[in-house]
Chain A
Amino acid sequence: MRTLDPQSLPQHVDRLYRAAWALCGSREDAEDLVQETFSRVLSRPRVLQGDDELYYLMRVLRNTFLTGLRTASRRPVTAAVLEDVVAADPKPTSRPEQAIEVQELYATIAELSEDFRLALVAVDVLGLSYREAARALRVREATLTTRLFRARKQVAAQLAPEVEHVEETTREGKKAGGVLSSGGTA
């Protein structure tokens, strides 16, 4: 058993931000979720029972996310529209092509049902082990495995047309290349 050291928390900001982005589907909401998560964690001393910090943060992130969803659904007017919208950081990553891919991937994950989304985020985005993820999400390991499998399958299905298209184009390209090559040698 040990007390969570607040000074060690900033090292997890990036990973938690990615997890929050995949959960919310929006970078702005992800920022709020991460900040609220850290605010909750830091509101009082925390005791970890031999658990990894990241596992603990995932648990709080999940609770904060679910609380936010429920609170938002009860609120008559939810959008905090600003008089001046500050443009979000246009360069979340130094590689523009990756930014598009990330946006697409996370947006697809955010469309999954809540349980599937949390399972995928805990394991594939945050990098928790199945055991840690199951405990953080308060489900059995077998349940997590099933959810994770289904979540991956759904996301893969969403992205599949693009993959198939690329494969088809590649096949056609190879055929064309073959003909030219034959002609060349003849």
Chain B
Amino acid sequence: MNKRDPQIESELSERLRAIDVRAPQELHERIGMLVAERTATRRRPAGWRLQLGGAVALAAIVAGLLIGVLGGGTSSKLTMRETVALTQRPATTSAPSEDPRNGTELAVAVDGVPFPYWDERFGWRSTGSRTDRLDGRQVTTVFYINQEGQRIGYAIVAGKPAPPVKGGVIEWRGGTAYRLQHAWGSEVVSWQRAGHLCVIAGHDVSPSALLALASWQGHETLSA
């Protein structure tokens, strides 16, 4: 093959152009949801709270797609990939409100482990939540958005012991190990709270920002 062989090269080009492999259905669905979500976000006026109906409608639209992904509410495999995927899906219920008894928490919890209220401290407000089942375990996800329109999902897996997670880089904050990973197109931080696996994931959000949110315990963000 020292000389140019037009026949082989043109055949190669033709072979490459003839390939008609389709992307996995799950990827199509994830992109479809991303488009639906971003389209809805852009149409949202300043009074976002008024858009709850729209969010619920969006959730209804994608519900059919989710049936395919999650087997219509039946158990899917509990993996980090699936858990992170949940943080990228749309909310199915309205935004949980701040716990009136505790200004650092939302009024929603999993096995007594509450979701944080970050609006006042970090400017991340909750926009909705969803509940799914993976391997028979309930996974509750609360979605947050900031003023720049960045969105993250915070998932807590019910039941103990927490499923083991491997890989990534460990960062210690206040005696807790936070695992940082870049996977499936997202920055991901996972750790345990009261024996429960917690996962925060988002696109275009730095790992340090996620770590600061994850390690916040209602007063100051813990330093290393």
Contact = CB atoms under 8 A, between A and B. Distances in A.
Contacts of A127: 17
Contact of A35 (B38, B80, B164, B184): B184
A77 interface: yes
Nearest to B135: A84
Interface of A is mostly: helix
Interface in A35-68: 35-36, 38-40, 42-45
B77 to A, nearest CB: 6
B137 interface: no
A121 to B, nearest CB: 9
Interface in B14-53: 15-17, 19-24, 26-28, 30-32, 34-35, 38-39, 42
A115 interface: no
A82 B20 contact: no
A13 B35 contact: no
Q: How many of chain A's residues touch chain B, expressed as a range? A: 35 or more
Interface string B170-203: 0000000000011111001000000000000001
A35 B185 contact: yes
B26 to A, nearest CB: 8
B163 to A, nearest CB: 6
Contacts of A32: 183-185
Contacts of B80: 80, 82-83
Given A84-B79, A124-B16, A102 B184 contact: no
Interface stretch (B5-13, B111-119, B125-133, B139-147): B5-13
Contacts of B19: 18, 98, 102, 105, 125
A31 B27 contact: yes
Contacts of A43: 38, 149, 203-204
B27 A13 contact: yes
Given A34-B23, A34-B27, A156-B1, A82 B167 contact: yes
B101 interface: no
A81 B38 contact: no
B1 A153 contact: yes
Interface stretch (A3-11, A129-137, A176-184): A3-11
B13 A152 contact: yes
A173 interface: no
Contact of B35 (A17, A42, A45): A42
Contact of A34 (B31, B164, B188): B31
A105 to B, nearest CB: 7
B219 interface: no
Nearest to A37: B185
9 contacts: A6-B38, A32-B184, A32-B185, A35-B31, A72-B182, A84-B79, A99-B21, A105-B16, A163-B8
